Amino acid sequence: MQTDIQMRETVDLRNYLSLLWRRKWMVIVPTLVAGIAGFVITMPKIMRPLYRCSATLLIEQPANLTRDLEGLVASTSLQERLARLDSQVQSNEFLTQIIDNTGMRDDVATRRWAERNQKKYPDMTVDELVDLKLLRYLRQSIRIRAGAANQIEVAAVDYFPDRCYALVRNLSSAIIEANRSVQLEQLRTTAAFSNSQLLDYKRRLDEAEDRLETFKKSQANRDARPGLVDAGNLSRVQELRRQAADDEDRYQREAADARASLRSQGAAFGSLDDLLKTPELSGPLNEAAKLEKNYVRQSLLEVGQPGVNSQATAIQLARLISGMRDVLRNALSDDSGMSGDAAHAAENYLIAVAQSQLAETRLGEYDRYIGEYSQRVTSVPEADLELRRLEQEVESYRTLYSAFEQQIVTSKITEAYESSSAGERITVIEPPQRPIKPIKPKRVPMIVLSFFGGLILGTLGAFVVEHHDQSFRDVKDTEERLGVRVVGTIPNIDGVSREGSQPTPEREAQAAQALHQFLDDSPGYQEFRRTALALLRLDQGGPRSILITSARSGEGKSTASICLSLTLARELPHERVVLVDLDARKPMLSDRLGLDVEKPLEVATMLREQRWNDAALRNGILPNLTLLPMAPVREGAGELIAQERVRWLLGQLRERYDRIIIDSPPNLPVPDPLVLGPEVDAVLMVVKAGSTPRQTVRRSLDLQRSFKDNVYGILMNNVSEALPYYYSYKHYGYGYGKKAR
């Protein structure tokens, strides 16, 4: 079982090799075309070579600083320095300096580009376009990257090696010259900015300190003037307020009772309220309101002390009320329309209203003082918050002011430090070298890749064409599609299978040698032995006359006729075998074997005259093999192969020979095989593997059978290319040893 698997794997591999060999030109041509294209494209005239030049710069570490200066002088990392250098190199001023130093403006190609594109940019001159082109080019070609241990690599790419070298050389020099000046300029810019910010934050700091001082003074003034109500006398004040509220309620009830009495007596009191607005009563009433306010203030001051002042004020209030009563009594007595009781009730009503208003005034004063106390109590957290906010604002502005002040000092010290020899320096440790070889294109790899790509493309194309090929490629496919047995294959015999030039003795000797090699136990001879044995197994010892034809020319029928006649002559040494060439238009027998055929002595003459002539016969390389060749017939070839003439010739041949092999033309171009086929015992069709379309072979086979169904089998040609293992002894595990036995 394992042997079968290995055999199938070998067959598959050799099938692929055979396919590639058969389609070799489909593989070779794309490979050569792709390789030549890669060679041409990578030529300097088409793909311009690109050169690269580089230099290595070292950023020297600054000298060690004292501990006091370490915090003042700013230190930068390699990445920060690299970013600073890259920004510097990409600036227009720096690149313009490089352009001036290298003379790139004189480049003819760049100036021509500017002249061609000036119409697109009418606002720009040719020189401006040249600068624009060169700036863009330099930004793309110049590269700066960090190396090891504070090293920086400066590189450039260009189409011209000299200009590339000049670019890197000038670039390195310009970086060294501009590095310190740019750094110092940045320090000066930082110092100027810090000065402007310092003045701004100084102003803000002064304003914040003024706001804080003003707030503190306001809080101090408030604390210096405490209110009459505090936490110690709040309960007593609230008690006095309740008494004032009770007095107001009592006087309002008295006024209501007096009004009710007046209403019961039928007295009109609509104008009584206006009496309180008269000057005689409004003045004392206002004076009494002031005394009430003074009484409240004095009572608050005298809480917990003898109330001397408040008592005196109370006495004054009582006197004012008594005076008001006298004024009311006199005013009411003058009103003749009011009785004595009504006048007394009106007096009591007005006095009660006045005392109610005074009690309301006293109650309002107590509420005011209590409200002031409540406001002081609730405003303390807000004042603290405002104070902290103002203090924080002052501290923030003071910090920023100090930071910018420190920045100014640092910038001045750093500027002085960088200006000295102890500061950062850049030196060249690996100068640029003029490039010798271009970095692009890589000609050899690209050409190799082109060949490889063409090989892959050709191989894929060969497999695609093979997949869509409509020809027969193996024995099994042929037998299944045609329904006819493949009785053998046709080998490729050097010296016989190819058309030669003019017949010569040397040519005939070479053909004879090739036939001897064929008979010397070659794989091709063994294959034709199988064909001969298959023919001889037919009824009555096999067919005496065999016609070999094909669908079209070039299929290998002449080679098949020669090999089959040789094999039959070898296998049947006691029988006489004759090989007849009846292809009048393109006879190949004489050409293959190098025979010099004279027209009066060949088969065409015998057919025309129907007269046998032994002089037309030629001896083969075997004693029992005879050849009957034909010379090309220029006129009347169609009339030569007629049924009557063919029957006469075959009759003559049957009388003289035991086996007759006829090499005929293809049956699709000319009908000669259709005439010959019914007159012979068997017909063999030659099919060239991998070449003849299936439909062509099927049409040829059907046409031959339509005249007589005596097609015995198929002889396949070109199988050695379609199946390269077909003739190999080793494929079947058999071969000659070192010693013959």
With 60 as the cut, is the pLDDT of residue 730 above it?
no
pLDDT at 682: 93
The residue ranking higher by pLDDT, 639 or 623, is 623
Q: Both tokens of residue 12?
A: 């598959």
Within 13 A of 449's CA, how many CA atoms are on the CB side? 8
Buried b (16+ CB within 10 A) or exposed e, 49-60: bbbbbbbbbbbe
| Three-state DSSP state, 59 | strand
Tens of pLDDT along 29-82?
A: 889 998 898 888 888 778 888 888 888 887 765 544 444 444 444 555 667 767
Last residue of a domain, one of 391, 411, 433: 391
Provide mean pLDDT across the span 297-320: 76
Cβ atoms of 401 and 201 within 8 Å: the answer is yes
pLDDT at 549: 94
Residue 251 located in a structural domain: yes
User: Which residues fall within 8 angstroms of residue 25, CB to CB, at 6 or more apart?
Assistant: none
Is residue 281 domain-shared with residue 384, that is, in the same domain?
Answer: yes
Phi-psi region of 530 (alpha: psi -120 to 50; beta: other; left: phi over 0): alpha
Give the DSSP letter string of 525-585.
Answer: HHHHHHHHHHHHTSGGGS-SEEEEEESSTTSSHHHHHHHHHHHHHHH-TTS-EEEEE--SS
Percent over 90 (pLDDT), the chain: 10
Asked if residue 441 has a cis previous peptide bond (ω within 30° of 0), the answer is yes
Is residue 510 domain-shared with residue 458, that is, in the same domain?
Answer: no
Q: φ and ψ at 337, to 5 degrees?
A: -85, 5
pLDDT at 599: 62
d(CA 588, CA 119): 75
User: Which residues fall within 8 angstroms of residue 275, CB to CB, at 6 or more apart?
Assistant: 281, 328, 331, 350
- The enclosing H or E element of 146 equals strand 142-146
Last residue of a domain, one of 467, 484, 502: 467
**Exposed, middle or buried: residue 358 (CB in 10 Å: 0-12, 13-18, 19+)?**
buried
With 90 as the cut, is the pLDDT of residue 270 above it?
no
With 80 as the cut, is the pLDDT of residue 228 above it?
no
Residue 613 located in a structural domain: yes
With 50 as the cut, is the pLDDT of residue 181 above it?
yes
Q: Which domain holds residue 700?
A: 475-729
d(CA 228, CA 218): 19
Q: φ and ψ at 243, to 5 degrees?
A: -65, -40
Q: Both tokens of residue 233?
A: 């006398």
pLDDT at 585: 84
Strand order from edge to edge, sheet including 625-628: 486-490, 711-717, 682-688, 545-550, 659-663, 577-581, 625-628, 618-619
pLDDT at 73: 46
Cβ atoms of 528 and 564 within 8 Å: the answer is yes
Is residue 587 domain-shared with residue 679, that is, in the same domain?
Answer: yes
d(CA 215, CA 390): 9
Residue 446 located in a structural domain: yes
Percent over 70 (pLDDT), the chain: 78
User: Which residues fall within 8 angstroms of residue 565, CB to CB, at 6 or more apart?
Assistant: 577, 578, 579, 620, 625, 659, 661
pLDDT at 99: 82
Tens of pLDDT along 329-349?
A: 777 776 545 667 777 777 788
d(CA 709, CA 725): 33
Is residue 511 domain-shared with residue 447, that is, in the same domain?
Answer: no
Residue 109 located in a structural domain: no
d(CA 733, CA 194): 97
- For the chain, how many residues are written? 741
The residue ranking higher by pLDDT, 264 or 15, is 264
Provide mean pLDDT across the span 629-634: 82
With 50 as the cut, is the pLDDT of residue 697 above it?
yes
Q: φ and ψ at 714, to 5 degrees?
A: -115, 135
Q: Both tokens of residue 561?
A: 């006729």
Is residue 581 domain-shared with residue 612, that is, in the same domain?
Answer: yes
Q: Average the pLDDT over each of 245-259, 481-495, 544-558 and give the range with the smallest value.
A: 481-495
Is residue 485 domain-shared with residue 455, that is, in the same domain?
Answer: no
Residue 284 located in a structural domain: yes
CATH, residue 631? 3.40.50.300
Within 13 A of 663's CA, how many CA atoms are on the CB side? 31
Which of these, 164, 30, 39, lies nearest to 442 by C-alpha position?
A: 39
pLDDT at 179: 65
d(CA 678, CA 547): 10
- Tell me which amino acid residue 609 is: E
CA angle 193, 92, 87 (to 5 degrees): 60
The residue ranking higher by pLDDT, 466 or 624, is 624
> Confidence band (pLDDT; 50, 70, 90) for 173?
confident
d(CA 209, CA 206): 5
Is residue 565 domain-shared with residue 678, that is, in the same domain?
Answer: yes
Tens of pLDDT along 362-389?
A: 888 888 888 877 777 776 667 677 777 8
**Exposed, middle or buried: residue 643 (CB in 10 Å: 0-12, 13-18, 19+)?**
exposed
d(CA 677, CA 255): 160
Buried b (16+ CB within 10 A) or exposed e, 291-330: bbbbbbbbbbeebeeeeebbeebbeebeebbeebeebbee
Q: Both tokens of residue 450?
A: 């082109």
Which of these, 374, 232, 204, 365, lies nearest to 294 by C-alpha position?
A: 365
Is residue 577 domain-shared with residue 639, that is, in the same domain?
Answer: yes
d(CA 434, CA 689): 63
| Three-state DSSP state, 142 | strand
Tens of pLDDT along 124-168?
A: 888 888 888 888 888 888 877 776 667 778 888 888 888 888 888
Tens of pLDDT along 429-455?
A: 788 888 888 888 877 888 888 888 888
Phi-psi region of 113 (alpha: psi -120 to 50; beta: other; left: phi over 0): alpha
d(CA 603, CA 221): 153
pLDDT at 135: 85
| Three-state DSSP state, 155 | strand
Last residue of a domain, one of 326, 358, 391: 391
Residue 361 located in a structural domain: yes
pLDDT at 226: 60
Is residue 570 domain-shared with residue 695, that is, in the same domain?
Answer: yes
With 60 as the cut, is the pLDDT of residue 731 above it?
no
Provide mean pLDDT across the span 403-411: 71
Tens of pLDDT along 481-526?
A: 888 888 887 766 665 545 545 566 777 787 788 788 888 878 778 8
pLDDT at 205: 82
Is residue 499 domain-shared with residue 374, that is, in the same domain?
Answer: no
d(CA 390, CA 212): 6
Average pLDDT value over all residues in the chain? 78
Tens of pLDDT along 556-586?
A: 888 889 989 999 999 899 999 999 998 888 8
DSSP symbol at 303 = T
Residue 10 located in a structural domain: yes
With 70 as the cut, is the pLDDT of residue 9 above it?
no
d(CA 294, CA 316): 11
The residue ranking higher by pLDDT, 729 or 602, is 602
| Three-state DSSP state, 487 | strand
d(CA 676, CA 391): 129
Provide mean pLDDT across the span 280-290: 83
Structural domains counted in the chain: 3
> Confidence band (pLDDT; 50, 70, 90) for 732?
very low
Is residue 353 domain-shared with residue 451, that is, in the same domain?
Answer: no
Is residue 559 domain-shared with residue 492, that is, in the same domain?
Answer: yes
Residue 424 located in a structural domain: no
With 60 as the cut, is the pLDDT of residue 264 above it?
yes
DSSP symbol at 546 = E
- Tell me which amino acid residue 420 is: S
